[in-house]
């Protein structure tokens, strides 16, 4: 980098910092406010830092059963990620490496399914789950989430596989590997960025979803965290302290995960664009 490039780079840095600050400001405000007393939260003149630092809001949400909601969200999200990656990595490999009748139609169908709004599928989905006896179960929710997210996982994996040199697979096959061994021992380790990108996509949907979960789940024992957060809205008023605390419990872990894995996420999402 030369001296004449410094002003341009500095401007880009300042713009990036400004965008990051605007994006993070609501999260930082919510995090700080979750440690405030009700009086501090409802002050006429807002202030960033709490006058009295308190854990009472977090204690109250766990006393209200938020721990169970978190457990259900972890179970459902983890199960959805596992199902989608297991099926999507195999289906994506077949789509990327094999020629078969109707391949173009399958590709178009995958893209078409990704464009369908989830809300438009709620009634038929509920009917199918009710017929199968899977309404109000975590297993049913995992299956529904997996069905919704599997197309995008297949697409991410297939496009990334196409950027990997086939010569590595041919060498493995010559050495006596089966197709399954080639996929698990050669291809998947190289496709780690795509796997992480797909994981983050699926995890974000499964962890944050409210509409599907509130439609299919009616019992507190199986409800997920977004429904638990909604409970703090109250019928006659807002419990702002517990609501902010529950929101932070939901948001912060996911944001931290994105920050840690962002380079893999970017590589996984842009890898498919290398090959025309």
Average pLDDT over residues 258-267: 75
- % of the chain exceeding 90 in pLDDT: 50
Indicate the average pLDDT of the chain. 87
In a domain, 19, yes or no: no
Q: Which of 261, 254, 252, 260 is nearest to 27 (CA)?
A: 252
Average pLDDT over residues 115-121: 87
Q: Please report the pLDDT score of residue 52 as a whole number.
A: 84
Q: Distance (Å, rounded) from C-alpha 230 to C-alpha 242? A: 11
Q: Please report the pLDDT score of residue 257 as a whole number.
A: 86
Q: Please report the pLDDT score of residue 157 as a whole number.
A: 93
Q: Please report the pLDDT score of residue 275 as a whole number.
A: 44
For the segment 212-258, what is each residue's pLDDT rounded down to a tens digit? 999 999 898 999 999 988 877 765 567 888 899 999 999 888 888 88
Bigger pLDDT: 136 or 271? Answer: 136
Q: Are 261 and 194 in contact (CB under 8 A)?
A: no
Q: Distance (Å, rounded) from C-alpha 209 to C-alpha 206? A: 6
For the segment 33-70, what is each residue's pLDDT rounded down to a tens digit? 999 988 888 887 878 888 888 999 999 999 988 999 99
Q: Which of 105, 75, 193, 88 is nearest to 147 (CA)?
A: 88
CATH number for the domain spanning 229: value is 1.10.3720.10
In a domain, 112, yes or no: yes
In a domain, 5, yes or no: no
In a domain, 52, yes or no: no
Q: Please report the pLDDT score of residue 46 as a whole number.
A: 79
> Residue 60's Cα: distance from chain center in Å?
27
Bigger pLDDT: 276 or 187? Answer: 187
Which range of residues forms the domain containing residue 255? 65-273
In a domain, 53, yes or no: no
Average pLDDT over residues 165-186: 90
Residues found in the chain: 276
Instruction: Provide the number of structural domains found in the chain.
Output: 1
What's the 3-state SS for 70-122? HHHHHHHHHHHHHHHHHHHHHHHHHHHHCCCCCHHHHHHHHHHHHCCCHHHHH
In a domain, 14, yes or no: no
In the structure encoding, which two tokens stand for residue 13, read together? Answer: 């840095």
In a domain, 16, yes or no: no
In a domain, 7, yes or no: no
């Amino acid at each position: 980098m030369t001296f004449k490039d410094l002003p341009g780079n500095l401007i880009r840095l300042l713009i990036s910092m400004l965008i990051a600050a605007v994006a993070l400001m609501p999260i930082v405000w919510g995090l700080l406010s979750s440690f405030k007393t009700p009086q501090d939260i409802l002050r006429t003149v807002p202030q960033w830092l709490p006058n009295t630092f308190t854990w009472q809001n977090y204690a109250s949400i766990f006393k209200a059963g938020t721990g169970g909601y978190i457990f259900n969200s972890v179970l459902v999200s983890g199960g959805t990620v596992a199902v989608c990656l297991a099926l999507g990595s195999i289906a994506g490999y077949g789509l990327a490496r094999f020629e078969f009748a109707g391949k173009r139609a399958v590709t178009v169908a995958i893209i078409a399914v990704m464009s369908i709004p989830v809300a438009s599928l709620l009634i038929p989905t509920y009917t199918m789950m009710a017929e199968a006896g899977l309404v109000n179960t975590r297993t049913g929710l995992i299956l529904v989430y997996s069905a919704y997210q599997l197309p995008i996982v297949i697409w991410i994996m297939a496009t990334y596989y196409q950027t990997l040199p086939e010569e590595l697979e041919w060498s493995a096959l010559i050495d006596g590997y089966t197709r399954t061994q080639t996929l698990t021992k050669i291809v998947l380790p190289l496709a780690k960025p795509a796997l992480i990108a797909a994981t983050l996509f699926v995890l974000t949907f499964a962890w944050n979803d409210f509409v599907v979960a509130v439609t299919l789940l009616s019992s507190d024992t199986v409800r997920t965290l977004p429904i638990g957060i909604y409970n703090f809205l109250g019928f006659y008023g807002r419990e702002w302290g517990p609501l902010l605390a529950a929101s932070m419990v939901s948001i912060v872990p996911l944001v931290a995960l994105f920050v840690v894995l962002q380079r893999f996420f970017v590589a996984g999402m842009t890898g498919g664009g290398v090959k025309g």
